[in-house]
A and B are shown apart, each in its own frame.
Chain A
Amino acid sequence: GAGVSQSPRYKVAKRGQDVALRCDPISGHVSLFWYQQALGQGPEFLTYFQNEAQLDKSGLPSDRFFAERPEGSVSTLKIQRTQQEDSAVYLCASSFRAYNEQFFGPGTRLTVL
């Protein structure tokens, strides 16, 4: 596809469940980012990959959050033992090079009950 895709678009989880969110970046884009967007706020940085290497995970809110990009293309954000405060929209973005404009996917809206 031409743009960044994410799945699922919506996810409802019970507190304590594990979830996995998928991101397919634009083909050829080296850089991949995950952001978290709370209601009424701007997106906040979670983590960054250059190809398969996770170069920065300083924005991950706790050790329950884990991201990977094993082949330098598709990425998965995993949240273990979900909590209500994890409810947010999770956005994935990719760019050709790190300092270029980032193109965003439609996001995954996670609701933790």
Chain B
Amino acid sequence: AQKVTQAQTEISVVEKEDVTLDCVYETRDTTYYLFWYKQPPSGELVFLIRRNSFDEQNEISGRYSWNFQKSTSSFNFTITASQVVDSAVYFCALSEARASDSGYALNFGKGTSLLVTP
């Protein structure tokens, strides 16, 4: 079963629009970590954020913000005033404490492809 669901396959917005990328996860662990990565056309995965399950505070970093809600098992990512350079595939990922023997390996969603047009 998919542990991380990114229901939006593709999103297209016009520059300066705000856009939210959804992520829903599934786990029975009380200790877990959530991540967002960006994969631009060049292909290299770029780390954006890591959150542990005990910290539900929302986080803002420049134009990026993240909303973590344990009650709905969601970890959504919002880009404010989007720019063309934001065009990429964005992946949400989960690592679980039960997977400590596997080094807390990441379970990735299928990704959301974001296209920002001028």
Of the stretches A17-25, A36-44, A69-77, A78-86, the one at the interface is: A36-44
Contact B44 A48 (CB under 8 A): no
Q: How far apart are the CA atoms of A103 and B103 in the complex, in Å?
A: 14
Name B45's closest neighbour in chain A (CB-CB): A104
CB of B105 closer than 8 Å to a CB of A:
yes
Q: Are B103 and A48 in contact (CB under 8 A)?
A: yes
**Which bracket fits the contact residues of B?**
20 to 34
Q: A41-B110, A42-B109 are in contact. Are A105 and B104 (CB under 8 A)?
A: no
B102 at the interface (CB under 8 A from A): yes
A63 within 8 A of B: no
| Cα separation A91 to B46 with both chains bound (whole Å) | 12
* Interface positions of B from 23 to 69, Cβ below 8 Å from A: 33, 35, 37, 42-47, 50
CA–CA, A89 to B42, complex, Å?
12
Query: A33 contacts B105, CB within 8 Å?
Result: yes
Q: Give the chain A neighbours of B104 by CB distance below 8 A.
A: 98-99
Question: Is residue B77 within 8 Å, beta carbon to beta carbon, of the partner chain?
Answer: no
Q: Does B95 contact A (CB under 8 A)?
A: yes
- CB of B72 within 8 Å of the partner chain: no
Contacts of B100 in A (CB 8 A): 98-99
In the assembled complex, B88 has its CB within 8 A of some CB on chain A: no
Residues of A within 8 A of B111 (CB): 41-42
Residue of A nearest to B109 (CB): A42
Chain B residues with a Cβ under 8 A of chain A? 4, 33, 35, 37, 42-47, 50, 91, 93, 95, 100-111
Known: A40-B110, A103-B47. 15 other contacts (CB 8 A): A31-B103, A35-B106, A42-B108, A42-B110, A44-B108, A45-B102, A48-B102, A48-B105, A55-B102, A56-B105, A58-B102, A59-B105, A101-B35, A102-B106, A104-B44
